[in-house]
Structure 1
Amino acid sequence: MRKKVLAGIAAGIVAALGVGIPASAATNTNAVLSVLHGIPDTPVDVYVNGALTLDDFQPGDLAGPLDLPAGAYEVALTAPDATDASSPVLGPVTLTLESGKNYTAVAHLDASGSPTVTPYVNDTSPTAAGEGRLAVRHVAAAPAVDVLAGGTAVIQGLANPDEASLDLPAGTIEASVAAAGTTDPVLGPAPVDVQEGVLTIAYAWGSLEDDNLALAVQTVTGLHSAPDGVNSGTGGQLAQRDMFQQWMWAIGGVVVAAAVAASALVVARSRARR
């Protein structure tokens, strides 16, 4: 059974990374890769180019983001107790990463409970000022679900392995997952922090039948919009400062004028006495 699961993981990773996947560019020369392990009860070791890269990679763990030069990588998957990659469970296989792409490969169960891997594009396009992006990905062995925020369905009928995303004002929301058309949570509620200029990705993974549904969260930063300009208006503290300066100049002028007048009066009286 373990070999079948590992074979499914590796085959999916090869499919995910060996083909061109459109994504937002992270750099012009490198690729950005994250990997989420969402298959319950199946730890593995991952070797890249003969070196142990992920030791005892556990379900629910997220590896990355890895900023990698574009090119070919030899990957082998082994049992967690292997001492090297000489006896892989599967592989080695050659994976080709393309430059300027940002994506996450998720090893998970499909709706029927079979292991698979799904590549997702991480949408890193700019968000509006004061907003962040929330994406929800259904990677669990479960029927279609609704995603609730504060008890209200904001995403409806999300099926494995689909995703949905929303741009929201920055803040914390109470999110939960329920069977489609219902409001009784099968996962959550749990606080999800939507940060300004950040893509927050929530993954529902595991198995409903085995009662091990879980939530994994990934964040991708750098989505801030370019500022339109620097506000240098006359509101707030700036207005108070300007008003204060104006009053100080006015008071200073009155003091100077009074001093001049007093001096003139003294001179006039002195001349009259002569």
Structure 2
Amino acid sequence: MMKSQLRWVSLAALLAAGLSLPGTPALGKAPATGSVYVIQALPDAAISVAVDGKQQTADAAVKTILGPYDLSPGKHTLTLTSNEPSWTMKSVVTVEAGKSKDVVLHRPASASGDPVITVYPNPMAPVNADEGRVMVAHTAVVPPADITVNGEVFFANIANGEFLTADVPGGTYEVAIVPTGTSDDPVLGPLDLEVESSTLTQVFAIGQPQGGGMDVIVHKLPLQKAGSGAPTVINTGSAGLVDDWEVSGAKDTGVQPATLLWLAGAALILSVGASPMVKQLSRRARDRRIGGA
């Protein structure tokens, strides 16, 4: 009887560790690197990029998406250089294993201001199978503005450098940027934005309205699928999301479905096959506490 119980416990331990399932990563095993993208959102400039002193790209034009640069966890120095006009900027970026960031070079809200660098973590949590995630960032020479979707205000009062994300059903949306709190003519758009399911669609507004210089950079990354969740309002970022937009979201548990299946199997075996032994061990522990041993 004891040997049979020990076999049950051993099998449960193997299941919980995920050792017998092909393609299931070991628990606790994390990616060794993180990734960084550089978004060239500076009109009328050609930019060279170096990472930790090593040249990566030369003379990148506006709207160029550079990378990904796969880097070890920790701090890394990005050096951005322009030849005409001549200037150099540096930014220290903290890289996390298994995560990615967009480093965006853009103008501030003032047309006369010096270029700035803003770092945006990429929101890569899983989404429901029929949904995509949208991230909108204000990196244009424009005062705080509202983002309208299909004619209604979706993101409100976004200032230069701020961003917002939301999970929405896949499809095509009509998007525009308008001055905050007004129904004036858009400073950009309307534009048709395609949101693909299981995809992060990042939209960076760039340029300035004068002379028709407004534009967008779209950066797309694949997302994992998650199980369907209860409807919820997604409200993340650094600016205001309109409250009455209800979208379907999914919570990121950080555990793969296959791992959950094996853990559930292990729990079932422990509760059914090994229950006499578990009860016996629990009783012995209780007896020791009572006896003072």
TM-score category, normalised to shorter length: 0.5 to 0.7
**Corresponding residue for 2:221?**
220
Q: Distance in 2 between matches of 1:211 and 1:99?
A: 41
Q: Distance in 2 between matches of 1:156 and 1:210?
A: 25
**Corresponding residue for 1:189?**
190
Q: Distance in 2 between matches of 1:149 and 1:96?
A: 33
Deviation for aligned residue 1:102: 1.4
For residue 219 of structure 2, what is the amino acid of its counterpart? Q
Q: Distance in 2 between matches of 1:180 and 1:144?
A: 6
- TM-score, normalized by length of structure 2? 0.59
Q: Distance in 2 between matches of 1:121 and 1:137?
A: 12
Indicate the SS of the match to 2:125. Answer: coil
Deviation for aligned residue 1:210: 5.6
Instruction: Give CA deviations for 1:153-174 in whole Å, capped at 9, x if unaligned.
Output: 1112111111112211111111
Alignment of 1:134-213 (within 5 A): 134-183=134-183, 184-209=185-210, 211-213=212-214
What do you get for the CA RMSD once the two structures are aligned? Answer: 2.9
Q: Distance in 2 between matches of 1:149 and 1:197?
A: 20
The answer to whether 1:133 aligns with 2:136 is: no
Deviation for aligned residue 1:211: 4.0
**Corresponding residue for 2:242?**
none
Asked if 1 retains the 8 angstrom alpha-carbon contact of 2:125 and 2:223, the reply is no
Cα distance change on mapping 1:95 and 1:194 into 2, 3 Å = closer
- TM-score, normalized by length of structure 1? 0.63
Asked if 1 retains the 8 angstrom alpha-carbon contact of 2:40 and 2:47, the reply is no
Alignment of 1:64-83 (within 5 A): 64-70=67-73, 75-79=78-82
Deviation for aligned residue 1:47: 3.3
Instruction: Give CA deviations for 1:210-240 in whole Å, capped at 9, x if unaligned.
Output: 64111110112123115899xxxxxxxxxxx
Asked if 2 retains the 8 angstrom alpha-carbon contact of 1:55 and 1:80, the reply is no
Deviation for aligned residue 1:146: 1.3
Ranges in structure 1 where 5+ consecutive residues have no aligned partner: 1-26, 82-87, 230-274
Asked if 1 retains the 8 angstrom alpha-carbon contact of 2:188 and 2:209, the reply is no
Alignment of 1:20-169 (within 5 A): 28-48=31-51, 51-70=54-73, 75-79=78-82, 90=88, 97-113=95-111, 114=113, 115-169=115-169
Asked if 2 retains the 8 angstrom alpha-carbon contact of 1:198 and 1:224, the reply is no
Deviation for aligned residue 1:124: 0.9
Larger Rg: 1
Q: Distance in 2 between matches of 1:163 and 1:92?
A: 22
**Corresponding residue for 1:261?**
none
Deviation for aligned residue 1:122: 1.1
Higher relative contact order (CA 8 A, sep 6+): 2
Indicate the SS of the match to 2:140. Answer: strand
For residue 223 of structure 2, what is the amino acid of its counterpart? G
Bigger Cα displacement from structure 2, 128-137 vs 183-192: 183-192
Cα distance change on mapping 1:95 and 1:128 into 2, 3 Å = closer
Q: Distance in 2 between matches of 1:205 and 1:52?
A: 26
Give the total of aligned pairs. 197
Deviation for aligned residue 1:188: 1.3
Indicate the SS of the match to 2:127. Answer: coil
Cα distance change on mapping 1:156 and 1:79 into 2, 3 Å = closer
